[in-house]
A and B are shown apart, each in its own frame.
Chain A
């Protein structure tokens, strides 16, 4: 696909602005009613999905070219997909998220690459991680002392954050050991473990992503991987959706899905009471974007003169099959924990601010987005904000709300560990 392939969608956007809010039926207050971090941060129409359609169309029509401001706009999308869910409350034939991504890709194709992105991509090419400055030879160090199963059926895919960050690596070790203790024949790719490349894709570097993804798929085949379990929501999305599109045919599970199974069947039993009031943040790429991939290759077909449909039936990703209940089941199963919900949850959750590589691309927007979420979390009265993604956790860590208050941020793995 190229931006020009989106012209029909660009011209069929009805400019209704539904993409600016969470689904209206779910609004409980004015304060937490909006959904698009980039749009709310910048305020211009241009930053919302409808504006991106308009900007994209003008670019295709050659009405203007990129300048630094326009490239900034293109890359400011956090890839959270909240606009996609809201649009599809009523529309069946628009794909705002796919268009936002293509707009980024188009900007990249036109040479709009930031120095910080170049460093990330160089690192991805040379060191197989998008975390610039990290070395390939250090990637598996965290896993050296773990007694991985030799006849592994399930492979652990920690992702870059858990592999390189010392604090997070301890969590990766914890969850691997929890799974191994629960009898899971868990393996690890060792020197073949590499970055999923999801961030590259989210920033519009489709070709670079494809190269890395294909190499990983090859490695999975070499190791005979049938099931992958990952604690990282970004990796989860990349493997489950993007790799599947490139032919990966293995079961992909997030740790919360695996843990939930083990709790439900009684394999994991909590022994300690955890006295916390927690609120759960749905990571975008586990929640609304965590839907299973469905292959589709078809074309538009008009019925009843002008009604746009697809032949054959096209999968409609609107967040309804995302992973929402599993993490909540885990939290609810822990003795003593009280779960209180934020106003924007599940398919209409507010992003953490780390999506789309925003920590590197636009740190101000990234921090502001996190701050908004901390404000929302504190409004619940919870003492702990739990999430299931290292990118969310790292972006929330140190963020303060609009009143300057922080909140205790925890990975769901830590919460589980506290209760075992």
Chain B
């Protein structure tokens, strides 16, 4: 659905000829192929709608003007940055897509330990700039290629480093926020021209409106600048690495250690995690390489750390007695980086880990203690720059069996039953990579200091080029996975958040759809509240429907009908 010539010319006048396009080839590359990336609403053989045009604003003023024009012409839009996952793409025909990549400035304020960032500043670059001042940022589980601003404004952002730095939501300070009406709200201390160091003022704090329950995900205007809290980086001014072509080794990080900690049971595993959190021992904490799959992860670790090995070496590696030993050793495990803020601090942490491991019958995986593996893992976990290994099996995966937002004890106890379901699916036909059932990966600390598991998901790896593989994976999610979740309270499905936002055909739900969906759900008032916020701030509903709302009038009618029944 093309824009009117009048609207197109008006947008062009704002961003300039070079930064607007309605060419089909350009617009095509702003569609999400739902099978090809972690869409998190299910793998489907379709793409999200074709934008009517793509715009690349270069300043806050341009974003303001775009909002005003969208209101004038009643055009929906979606602002996005790195375009990895389906979240950032438009949800309706006739929408315009904003690509924010021209706005990528990063300013570090070392005195206040904050970074002031624009939308296209990714975690890797924010961290690199922060390291120059002995600071670092949280890098969410999705990896360092993600936009820090988008992650902080719209999502949760738990990852390996959250246990030390807090997740991205916790690090949100001040925001320069272009409201859907085109006005700019500047929150926190920045809102009273006092600098960007504190989110709650003096100056307005409208955090609950900006973020909503699960993040507004781009529906409520566009954040064009943000300050985030930084954390100490007890290392050199940049990440020093040797090695070549992806196999990079951290050099000279003598005050850091990496361990794969392994356990005989999930109860021991969760006991150790909780105790390590209690004592603030971890710089990063994650169950990481299980995403390869329990049966293959040890073999895969050999491949990704050895340039001479490839995927075709898997069968031979899996039969290697040394690899089998590692596979057995790290069945139930997690991965941690320890940072010593001083020599004594490191010694104490090492001793504390040994003591806790003893209490919970754990051990350090021997292979991971090799010096070159230590160096590789330090690079891996500190920068988190290899997250595309998530797709290494066949190019696509989807997460399921969330196990997140729970305490470690509950989550851990559900891994084996969930793994059994997954294994059954893997063995049911050639639809998914057959990797051993358990492929649960996630953060050990949803909050700074630990507590809860966050972002946990089982990986189901399928071939986006094989339509049957996609369909069967989808059927598995709708069948056995849903059944399992219904029977086991506390298990949330990783894709569910996006399922509430985008339909199986790639379009976003309409308000009518949302009314029907949310009116009967527990906590309806939250959706009604968000509806009222949205109506005030965004009466023309310019964004997608990721911000979940329910019309209070509809709820009233729904309740009345229910009462009659």
Q: Measuring CB to CB, which residues of chain A are less than 8 angstroms from any residue of chain B? A: 7-8, 11-18, 20-21, 23-30, 33, 43-46, 50-51, 54-55, 58, 63-64, 67, 69-70, 73, 85, 88-94, 301-311, 313-314, 316, 318-320, 346-347
B104 CB-CB contact with A under 8 Å: yes
Q: Measuring CB to CB, which residues of chain B are less than 8 angstroms from any residue of chain A? A: 19, 21, 23-26, 28-33, 35-37, 54, 56, 82-84, 99, 101-102, 104-106, 121-122, 124-126, 128-129, 143-145, 238-239, 241, 244-248, 296, 307, 310-312, 314-315, 379, 383-396, 426, 429-435, 461-466, 469
Residues B462 and A306 in contact, CB atoms below 8 Å apart: yes
User: Which of B28, B101, B379, B389 contacts A43 (CB under 8 A)?
Assistant: B101
Report B441 CB to chain A, min CB distance, Å.
15
Q: Which residues of A contact B35 (CB under 8 A)?
A: 11
Report B258 CB to chain A, min CB distance, Å.
14
Report B443 CB to chain A, min CB distance, Å.
19
Report B96 CB to chain A, min CB distance, Å.
14
Report B482 CB to chain A, min CB distance, Å.
22
User: Which of A15, A89, A316 contacts B32 (CB under 8 A)?
Assistant: A15
Q: Which residues of A contact B30 (CB under 8 A)?
A: 45
Q: Which residues of A contact B31 (CB under 8 A)?
A: 54
User: Which of B247, B248, B433 contacts A307 (CB under 8 A)?
Assistant: B433
Residues A306 and B461 in contact, CB atoms below 8 Å apart: yes
User: Which of B29, B124, B393, B429 contacts A33 (CB under 8 A)?
Assistant: B124
Q: Which residues of A contact B36 (CB under 8 A)?
A: 11-15
The 10 tightest CB contacts between A and B, nearest first, are: A24-B385, A12-B395, A89-B246, A90-B388, A309-B312, A51-B29, A320-B245, A14-B391, A30-B125, A45-B29
Say yes or no: A69-B25 contact (C-beta < 8 A), given A17-B145, A319-B245.
yes
Residues A69 and B83 in contact, CB atoms below 8 Å apart: no
Task: Identify the closest chain B residue to A92 (Cβ).
Answer: B311
Residue pairs across A and B with Cβ atoms less than 8 A apart, 5 shown, are: A27-B383, A29-B129, A45-B26, A58-B24, A306-B434
Q: Which residues of A contact B143 (CB under 8 A)?
A: 24
Task: Identify the closest chain B residue to A11 (Cβ).
Answer: B465
C-alpha spacing A420/B190, complex, angstroms: 61
Q: Give me 20 other A-B pairs in contact (C-beta within 8 A), A21-B122, A305-B426 excluded.
A: A14-B36, A23-B245, A23-B248, A27-B385, A28-B239, A29-B129, A45-B83, A46-B26, A46-B29, A85-B246, A89-B246, A90-B389, A92-B392, A301-B312, A303-B311, A305-B433, A311-B312, A314-B310, A318-B246, A320-B307
User: Which of A11, A89, A92 contacts B33 (CB under 8 A)?
Assistant: A11
Residues B129 and A309 in contact, CB atoms below 8 Å apart: no
User: Which of B104, B310, B469 contacts A30 (CB under 8 A)?
Assistant: B104
C-alpha spacing A15/B33, complex, angstroms: 8
Residues A24 and B312 in contact, CB atoms below 8 Å apart: no
Residues B29 and A7 in contact, CB atoms below 8 Å apart: no
Q: Which residues of A contact B426 (CB under 8 A)?
A: 305
Q: Which residues of A contact B432 (CB under 8 A)?
A: 305-306
Residues B383 and A25 in contact, CB atoms below 8 Å apart: yes
Residues A70 and B469 in contact, CB atoms below 8 Å apart: no
Residues A16 and B145 in contact, CB atoms below 8 Å apart: yes
Task: Identify the closest chain A residue to B397 (Cβ).
Answer: A14
Residues A93 and B311 in contact, CB atoms below 8 Å apart: yes
Residues B244 and A346 in contact, CB atoms below 8 Å apart: yes
Say yes or no: A306-B83 contact (C-beta < 8 A), given A54-B29, A89-B245, A91-B392.
no
Task: Identify the closest chain A residue to B427 (Cβ).
Answer: A305
Residues B25 and A64 in contact, CB atoms below 8 Å apart: yes
C-alpha spacing A319/B430, complex, angstroms: 34
Residues A88 and B312 in contact, CB atoms below 8 Å apart: no
C-alpha spacing A94/B30, complex, angstroms: 21
Residues B248 and A14 in contact, CB atoms below 8 Å apart: no
C-alpha spacing A58/B27, complex, angstroms: 11
Say yes or no: A12-B245 contact (C-beta < 8 A), given A29-B129, A320-B307.
no
Residues B25 and A70 in contact, CB atoms below 8 Å apart: yes
Residues B125 and A27 in contact, CB atoms below 8 Å apart: yes
Residues A90 and B244 in contact, CB atoms below 8 Å apart: no
Q: Which residues of B contact A90 (CB under 8 A)?
A: 246, 386-389, 391-392
Report A147 CB to chain B, min CB distance, Å.
41
Q: Which residues of B contact A16 (CB under 8 A)?
A: 37, 84, 145, 387-388, 391
Q: Which residue of A69, A90, A303, A306 has the most chain B CB atoms within 10 A of its CB atom?
A: A306
Report B41 CB to chain A, min CB distance, Å.
15
Residues B54 and A44 in contact, CB atoms below 8 Å apart: yes
C-alpha spacing A105/B462, complex, angstroms: 31
Q: Which residue of A16, A303, A308 has the most chain B CB atoms within 10 A of its CB atom?
A: A16
Q: Which residues of A contact B296 (CB under 8 A)?
A: 304
Residues B386 and A89 in contact, CB atoms below 8 Å apart: yes
Q: Which residues of A contact B241 (CB under 8 A)?
A: 25-26
Q: Which residues of A contact B393 (CB under 8 A)?
A: 304, 306-308
C-alpha spacing A319/B84, complex, angstroms: 25
Report B306 CB to chain A, min CB distance, Å.
11
C-alpha spacing A64/B379, complex, angstroms: 43
C-alpha spacing A376/B121, complex, angstroms: 19
Residues A58 and B25 in contact, CB atoms below 8 Å apart: yes
Task: Identify the closest chain B residue to A45 (Cβ).
Answer: B29
Residues B37 and A14 in contact, CB atoms below 8 Å apart: yes
Residues B314 and A23 in contact, CB atoms below 8 Å apart: no
Residues B311 and A33 in contact, CB atoms below 8 Å apart: no
Q: Which residues of A contact B101 (CB under 8 A)?
A: 43
Residues A25 and B239 in contact, CB atoms below 8 Å apart: yes
Say yes or no: A91-B431 contact (C-beta < 8 A), given A307-B314, A318-B245.
no
Report A85 CB to chain B, min CB distance, Å.
6
Report A14 CB to chain B, min CB distance, Å.
4
Report A245 CB to chain B, min CB distance, Å.
20
Residues B433 and A91 in contact, CB atoms below 8 Å apart: no
Report A13 CB to chain B, min CB distance, Å.
6
C-alpha spacing A8/B33, complex, angstroms: 14
C-alpha spacing A307/B431, complex, angstroms: 10
Task: Identify the closest chain B residue to A311 (Cβ).
Answer: B312
Say yes or no: A89-B465 contact (C-beta < 8 A), given A30-B121, A63-B24, A316-B310.
no
Report B158 CB to chain A, min CB distance, Å.
19
Residues A307 and B394 in contact, CB atoms below 8 Å apart: yes
Task: Identify the closest chain A residue to B379 (Cβ).
Answer: A25
Residues A73 and B25 in contact, CB atoms below 8 Å apart: yes
Q: Which residues of A contact B24 (CB under 8 A)?
A: 58, 63-64
Q: Which residues of B contact A43 (CB under 8 A)?
A: 19, 56, 99, 101-102
Report A111 CB to chain B, min CB distance, Å.
17
Q: Which residue of B19, B25, B126, B315 has the most chain A CB atoms within 10 A of its CB atom?
A: B25
Residues A305 and B430 in contact, CB atoms below 8 Å apart: yes
Q: Which residues of A contact B126 (CB under 8 A)?
A: 30
Say yes or no: A24-B145 contact (C-beta < 8 A), given A15-B33, A347-B245.
yes
Residues B129 and A30 in contact, CB atoms below 8 Å apart: yes
Residues B128 and A27 in contact, CB atoms below 8 Å apart: yes
Residues A15 and B99 in contact, CB atoms below 8 Å apart: no
Q: Which residues of B contact A69 (CB under 8 A)?
A: 23, 25-26
Q: Which residues of A contact B465 (CB under 8 A)?
A: 7-8, 11-12
